[in-house]
């Protein structure tokens, strides 16, 4: 049985990138590695919308989140965390574990946080040293307005930390123009790679915070990253770097505008197909829906835990469900990375067959048909 992924990450890795990562290992202090790293370091900053270096470390996205806290802040610093889902809650937990005092601007899961509420919270807590926000909250598919949040703190000493782990590439992000100070990303989303690499970009304001921080860090140390740059501060994940080099070529060949159009169309098609099958779109504001995933509440009588099990065991398709209080109620159709129209047709073919197995009544082919109609309409529009 062929295995397929329709998750918000990790994503299916194109064969071209798998083969790049399967090359012979090269030494991380060799001339060949220096050339490879040089090309990677040239290719990353434009994707972040910055003229500054982007640092690559061997870790998960969560490691990058923790590194930002460890390097930019000291125990008892007060910070603001924008939280509207699972990963906003993770930022809260990391900050508290490092002894920071956390003020939370919270919004219901499935909604985006109003930037005006962030401005009001800052007025109530003018002593904060940092503000944390998740760009694309993959626990629900909600997109936060990080550009507006960046503007609130642009002319202040507050360091704005953005988890763009899934949102980068798929949605526009202009770090320098938006006034963002620490932007985090990872390899297993839009970069189409396996998990294991994280990317960190820092503004001058962020470096000032790093230099005054008393937090403990060695492997996570941004100072070490800067000292060894452009090379790695520790033994790097060589195979993943070989894949990243090829990933940057693929992104350049498609071009970010077309990459984003493809993801927007995938999101639109998935949303329409789910509604056709009786699901209810979870994110109500269209302009606040992430194009990384499409989340939806299941039709009455369908337990999504059973649905996901059927997809996996009978059709080899891994899809994710709701987290925390949404477990058993929500499905999250991932379509980030290299996914295209035919991939989405396969996903909805498996979804339809699984729903039929579970006794759900609908017109077979209606979901897949909606994917086809959406992509056909898109191609007619761009002619």
Q: Which residues are known binding-site members for substrate? A: 332
φ/ψ bin of 342: left (φ > 0), alpha (ψ from -120 to 50), beta (otherwise): alpha
Is the separation of the CB atoms in 152 and 109 below 8 Å?
no
Beta bridge partners of 58: 197
Please state the residue numbers annotated as binding site. Answer: 332
How many of the other CB atoms lie within 10 Å of CB of 381? 8
The DSSP symbol for 171 reads B
Contact 292, 189 (CB under 8 A): yes
The SS3 call for residue 103 is: strand
- How many C-beta atoms surround the C-beta of residue 185 within 10 A? 29
> b/e for 349-380, b at 16 or more Cβ within 10 A?
bbbbbbbeeeebeeeeeebbbbbbebbeebee
Q: Are strands 330-334 and 293-297 parallel, antiparallel or unpaired?
A: antiparallel
**What is the C-alpha to C-alpha distance for residues 245 and 247, in angstroms, rounded to an integer?**
5
Which letter does DSSP use for residue 287 in this model?
G
d(CA 4, CA 318): 6
Helices (H), 165-229: 175-178, 204-212, 222-228
């Amino acid at each position: 049985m062929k295995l397929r992924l329709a998750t918000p990450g990790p994503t299916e890795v194109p064969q071209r990138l798998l083969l790049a990562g399967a090359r012979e290992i090269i030494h991380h202090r060799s001339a060949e590695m220096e050339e490879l790293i040089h090309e990677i370091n040239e290719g990353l900053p434009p994707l972040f919308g910055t003229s500054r270096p982007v640092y690559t470390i061997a870790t998960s996205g969560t490691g990058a989140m923790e590194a930002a806290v460890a390097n930019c802040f000291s125990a008892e610093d007060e910070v603001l965390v924008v939280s509207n889902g699972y990963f906003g809650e993770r930022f809260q937990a990391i900050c508290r574990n490092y002894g920071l005092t956390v003020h939370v601007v919270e919004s219901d899961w499935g909604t985006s946080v109003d930037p005006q509420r962030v401005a009001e919270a800052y007025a109530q807590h003018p002593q904060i040293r940092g503000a944390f926000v998740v760009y694309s909250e993959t626990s629900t598919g909600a997109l936060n307005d990080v550009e507006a949040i960046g503007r609130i703190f642009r002319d202040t000493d507050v360091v704005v930390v953005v988890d763009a782990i899934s949102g980068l590439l798929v949605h526009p992000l202009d770090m320098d123009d938006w006034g963002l100070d620490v932007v985090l990303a990872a390899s297993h989303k839009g970069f189409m790679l396996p998990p294991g690499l994280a990317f960190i970009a820092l503004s001058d304001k962020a470096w000032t915070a790093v230099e005054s921080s008393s937090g403990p860090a060695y492997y996570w140390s941004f100072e070490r990253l800067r000292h060894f740059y452009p090379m790695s501060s520790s033994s790097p994940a060589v195979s993943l770097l070989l894949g990243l080099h090829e990933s940057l070529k693929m992104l350049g060949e498609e071009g970010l505008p077309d990459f984003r159009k493809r993801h927007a169309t995938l999101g639109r098609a998935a949303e329409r197909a789910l509604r056709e099958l009786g699901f209810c779109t979870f994110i109500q504001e269209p302009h606040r829906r992430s194009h990384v995933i499409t989340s939806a509440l299941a039709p009455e009588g369908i337990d999504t835990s059973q649905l996901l099990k059927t997809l996996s065991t009978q059709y080899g398709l891994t899809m994710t469900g709701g987290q925390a209080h949404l477990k058993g109620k929500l499905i999250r159709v991932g379509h980030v990375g290299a996914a295209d129209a035919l991939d989405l047709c396969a996903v909805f073919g498996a979804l339809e067959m699984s729903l039929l197995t579970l006794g759900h009544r609908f017109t077979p082919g209606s979901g897949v048909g909606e994917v086809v109609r959406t992509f056909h309409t898109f191609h007619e529009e761009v002619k």
